[in-house]
Amino acid sequence: MSNPYRQAKFILSCPSLKNCPDDQGYEVIFAGRSNAGKSSAINALTGQKKLAKVSRTPGRTQHLVFFELDQERRLVDLPGYGYAKVPHKIKEKWHKDMSEYFKKRKCLRGAILVMDCRHPLKPYDEMMLEWCVSNEVPTHIILTKSDKIKKGAASNTRLSVQKALQDLPNVTVQLFSALKKTGLEEIWQHLDRLFEYTNEN
């Protein structure tokens, strides 16, 4: 099977859950603090430099953005969270929408939680983890920008995050660098399991 993530294409950007695609098939969400490298991670794993828009202004993306892999499978880029300059009303709406998404979206199969390797497990990250765990959503944490620090320090960060979350079910952790393209194979394998590609010939 050829790499299905290379075939990802933009299908929809919507400001609320009402406009989402039909609740069927498989969806894996990408969530993370603004400026954690979420868009860069999506672009790296799909091999498309401009698929997810990389903004120089953190907090710019305030819609749910859907990318289609095939008729049944989608990647979903959630709004970046935790950026101070986003108006309070928008933050409240985001909180409400995301809470509903986790509770009602039956096609949600897993989450990729993006954290800057230098600043992991901030309060909003912990809130997202709580949503995932309470709704039994398997969560794979990618610690981005691992190329920005020494290899030993990056490994220590991964180990400390794993230790902090060791009692949570279905939570895994890896290092990642969009710039160096390190960690891609691990993300693909994780997504394959969530999308059940491994059950296909």
What integer pLDDT is reported at residue 40 of this predicted model?
Answer: 94
Q: To 5 degrees, how large is the angle CA 65–CA 80–CA 41? A: 70
Domain with residue 186: its CATH number is 3.40.50.300
* Residues 87, 200: Cα–Cα separation, whole Å: 45
pLDDT in tens, 56-88: 555 445 688 999 999 999 999 988 776 556 677
> Where in the sequence is the domain holding 174, given as residue range(s)?
4-199
Cα distances (angstroms) measured from residue 114 to each of 62, 139, 152 = 16, 10, 20
Give the count of domains, the chain: 1
In this prediction the pTM is: 0.92
**Which H helix or E strand runs over 31?**
strand 26-32
pLDDT in tens, 118-167: 999 998 899 899 999 999 999 999 999 999 999 999 999 999 999 999 99
